[in-house]
C-alpha cells in the first residue's frame, strides 16, 4: 500500500485530506508540527508528501529544501495564501505541485494519484535503464552495492541500512581508497539545521561497521584515517 505523509497544522484540513486519501486506499500518516513533520519526511518511507507551508516549529519552505537534499519523493505544497504561490515559483524549491486552500478533495486525490503513478513509473524505468550499466554497481571484494535499488550485499547477504547509512557508505565507496574527511561527510549528509555535530559522523560510521564488517573492531572495508576521516580500503 502506498504511504502518504501529511504535514498540516490545521486539524480540519488534515482530517479532510486523511479521510479522502484513506478512502482512496492510501495509508496516511499525519504530523501537525514542522519539526516532527520534517523528521518523518526524511525517513524516506513515503510515496508522497503533502506539505503545508505555514507550520509551527519549522515552515514548509525549509522542510521542502531538506526533502530535496535527500530524495525525489513527490511533494505537493498546500498553501493558504495566494501570494505564497509566487514565492514557491520563484524559489524553485523542487516541489512537484501545489494546491491553494480551499481545494476540492477529489481534485486533491486525483493529483496525488497522478504523482504517485508517475513517480513509480520513473523509478521503475530508471532502475531498468541502469541495469547493465557499469556505474550502477560497486563491487569491493565481498561487498556489492546496487545503486538503482539502494541495496547492499556482503558475502551475498543483504544488509539493511538506513537512508543515511546507505548514503554514507555510497559516498565512501564511490571513491575507493580516497580519504573523505569528517567535515566533508558531515556537510554532505547533514544540513545546517540538523541537531548534532561532527561527532555524529563517527557514530554513523560505527553503526555502518556493525552492519557490514565481519569484525567491526578491525574493519576490512571502512578504514579510519587518523585525524582526518575515512576511506574504503582497496
Ligand atoms: Ca498552516
Query: Does 128 reside within a domain?
Result: no
C-alpha cell at 185: 561527510
- Domain with residue 86: its CATH number is 3.40.50.2300
How confident is the model over 85-111, as pLDDT tens digits? 666 664 566 677 888 888 999 999 999
Residue 84 CA to ligand 1 center (angstroms) comes to: 12
Which DSSP category does 220 fall into?
Answer: S
Residue 12 CA to ligand 1 center (angstroms) comes to: 11
CB–CB of 230/180 below 8 Å?
Answer: yes
pLDDT of residue 131: 47
- Decide the pairing of beta strands 3-7 and 27-31: parallel
Backbone dihedral angles phi then psi of residue 91, each to the nearest 5 degrees = -80, -20
How confident is the model over 19-62, as pLDDT tens digits? 999 999 999 999 999 999 999 999 988 999 999 999 999 999 89
Residue 55 CA to ligand 1 center (angstroms) comes to: 5
CB–CB of 109/86 below 8 Å?
Answer: no
The domain tally of the chain equals 2
Last residue within a domain, chosen from 102, 123, 144: 123
pLDDT of residue 167: 85
104-119 average pLDDT score: 89
Q: Are 33 and 67 part of one and the same domain? A: yes
Residue 35 CA to ligand 1 center (angstroms) comes to: 13
Residue 125: pLDDT band by 50, 70, 90 thresholds?
A: very low
pTM tops 0.75, yes or no: no
pLDDT of residue 182: 93
Query: Does 33 reside within a domain?
Result: yes
Residue 124 CA to ligand 1 center (angstroms) comes to: 34
Per-residue burial over 139-168, b = 16 or more CB atoms within 10 Å of its CB, e = otherwise: ebeebbbbbbeeebebeeeebebeebbbbb
Q: Are 102 and 187 part of one and the same domain? A: no
Q: Are 85 and 169 part of one and the same domain? A: no
Residue 95 CA to ligand 1 center (angstroms) comes to: 17
**Whole-angstrom Cα Rg for the chain:** 20
Last residue within a domain, chosen from 98, 123, 148: 123
Residues around ion ligand 1, judged by CB within 5 A, are 9, 52, 54
Give the lowest-confidence range in 12-16, 120-124, 176-180, 230-234: 120-124
pLDDT of residue 128: 46
Polymer length in residues for the chain: 234
pLDDT of residue 92: 60
Counting beta carbons within 10 angstroms of the beta carbon of residue 40, is it exposed (0 to 12), middle (13 to 18) or buried (19 or more)? middle
Amino acid at each position: 500500500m502506498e504511504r502518504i505523509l501529511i504535514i498540516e497544522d490545521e486539524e480540519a484540513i488534515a482530517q479532510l485530506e486523511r479521510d479522502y486519501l484513506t478512502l482512496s486506499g492510501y495509508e496516511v500518516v499525519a504530523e501537525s508540527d514542522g519539526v516532527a513533520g520534517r523528521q518523518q519526511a526524511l525517513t524516506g518511507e513515503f510515496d508522497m508528501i503533502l506539505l503545508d507551508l505555514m507550520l509551527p516549529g519549522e515552515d514548509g519552505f525549509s522542510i521542502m529544501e531538506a526533502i530535496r537534499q535527500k530524495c525525489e519523493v513527490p511533494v505537493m505544497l498546500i498553501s493558504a495564501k495566494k501570494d505564497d504561490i509566487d514565492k514557491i515559483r520563484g524559489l524553485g524549491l523542487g516541489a512537484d505541485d501545489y494546491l491553494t486552500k480551499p481545494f476540492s478533495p477529489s481534485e486533491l486525490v486525483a493529483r496525488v494519484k497522478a504523482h504517485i503513478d508517475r513517480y513509480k513509473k520513473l523509478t521503475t524505468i530508471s532502475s531498468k535503464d541502469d541495469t547493465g550499466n557499469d556505474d550502477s554497481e560497486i563491487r569491493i571484494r565481498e561487498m556489492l552495492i546496487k545503486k538503482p535499488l539502494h541495496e547492499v550485499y556482503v558475502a551475498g547477504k543483504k544488509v539493511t541500512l538506513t537512508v543515511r547509512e546507505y548514503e554514507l557508505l555510497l559516498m565512501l565507496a564511490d571513491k575507493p581508497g580516497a580519504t573523505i574527511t569528517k567535515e566533508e561527510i558531515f556537510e554532505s549528509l547533514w544540513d545546517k539545521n540538523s541537531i548534532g555535530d561532527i561527532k555524529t559522523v563517527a557514530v554513523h560510521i560505527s553503526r555502518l561497521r556493525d552492519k557490514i564488517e565481519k569484525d567491526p573492531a578491525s574493519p576490512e572495508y571502512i578504514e579510519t584515517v587518523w585525524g582526518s576521516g575515512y576511506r574504503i580500503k582497496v
